[in-house]
Amino acid sequence: MEFIKPGINLDLIGNRRIAFILSASLILATILLLIWRGGPNYGVDFAGGVLIQVKLDEKHLPSEIKAALKSVQLQDSIIQEFGEKDDHEYLIRVRKTDLKLSGLSEKVKQSLIIEFGQGVEMRRVEMVGPKVGEDLRQKALFAIFYSILFIAIYISGRFELKWLMSIIMALSLIFAVYLASGFGLPVSWLIIVALLVTIALCWFLKLRYALGAIIALIHDVTITMGAFALTDREISLSIIAAFLTIVGYSLNDTIIVFDRIRENSRRFRKKSFEEAMNTSINETLSRTILTSLTTLIVILALFILGGGVIHDFAFAILIGVLVGTYSSIFVASPILLIWEDKPLGKK
């Protein structure tokens, strides 16, 4: 099945500057939004505290629920609607870590019954200590970083046969991270420094395919996180799993395009590298769109019908698939032109 007829020749690479401006604007907007909000909205998994999920028989404002919780000294909690609007379910997130779970569920239920009547159903009560939350947050950040690093090593070895350079890059990065950790930097800043060092090493060692893949992956995860910040959604363990899924999906799409670029660069030696690249992207365009569409159909079904438990996970995958498809064409591939701007026959 072909969504686009063979022989199409859209000038996708010719519009790369517009795509770069769009991507840079989205990333900048994400950074500014995160700064304005004081960082990502971490869930109880990472921030620590108590999470209470309740179901009421009618819709109530968060301010009304806070007032009802005043009798149990939880009026400073963060109240969020959960699931479908007609379900009238709410998440009560308490940032206090010195609470005792024993009897807490019954106290909250009784305070809500006094205010709203008997239609109160307690769905779950979870607690995560601050130390556990911090450890989980650090491990999640390292999981995303190491996945991107190993991807860079794999891409360099497969497409450029520079396994030695990849090993040198990995060892240099380990040394750089060790030096940076000596200054007592937080894990989040340590990861940022490590990613910047990785990009610099790819540039210096001319690992062009690895550089394109890494920038595309960072681009996808950053914009997806921006969508979460814009919609005020929480970053939890399931969302980290979604981010890793996005990394894998985007990489698969990028590898297909890179593989065709490598093949056509050997076939069309009288064409410029930009022309060979544009031909390659057009040849894989039908496959890329079909794969993304079939994936989006499943994700949309999960997003609409899956319920509140996996709603945020499906939202992350939905944004990631859209952004990943875009980045494999307009972000990862054009970066290869940094070193290739002459006809292939004159190299």
All domains of the chain, ordered by start, with CATH?
13-43+132-346 (1.20.1640.10), 49-128 (3.30.70.3220)
Q: Give the mean model confidence (pLDDT) for residues 183-188.
A: 67
Q: What is the pLDDT of residues 236-252, one digit of tens each?
A: 888 888 888 888 888 88
Find the range with the poorest average confidence among 20-34, 182-196, 226-240, 304-318: 182-196
For residue 43, what are its two tokens? 């869930």
Q: Give the mean model confidence (pLDDT) for residues 42-54.
A: 75
Round to whole Å and give the CA distance between 36 and 52: 27
Q: Are strands 89-94 and 49-56 parallel, antiparallel or unpaired?
A: antiparallel
> What's the sign of the alpha-carbon dihedral 293, 297, 298, 300?
positive
Q: Please give the model's pTM, rounded to 2 decimal places.
A: 0.78
pLDDT given for residue 281 in this prediction: 86
pLDDT given for residue 69 in this prediction: 80
SS3 94: strand
Which segment, 28-32, 94-98, 281-285, is predicted with the most confidence on average?
A: 28-32
Round to whole Å and give the CA distance between 314 and 208: 32
Q: Give the mean model confidence (pLDDT) for residues 181-191.
A: 69
| C-alpha closest to that of 233 among 300, 302, 316, 307 | 316
Structure confidence at residue 343 as a pLDDT band (50, 70, 90): very low
Structure confidence at residue 345 as a pLDDT band (50, 70, 90): very low
Structure confidence at residue 4 as a pLDDT band (50, 70, 90): low
Q: What is the pLDDT of residues 110-158, one digit of tens each?
A: 888 887 777 788 887 777 766 666 777 777 777 777 777 777 778 777 7
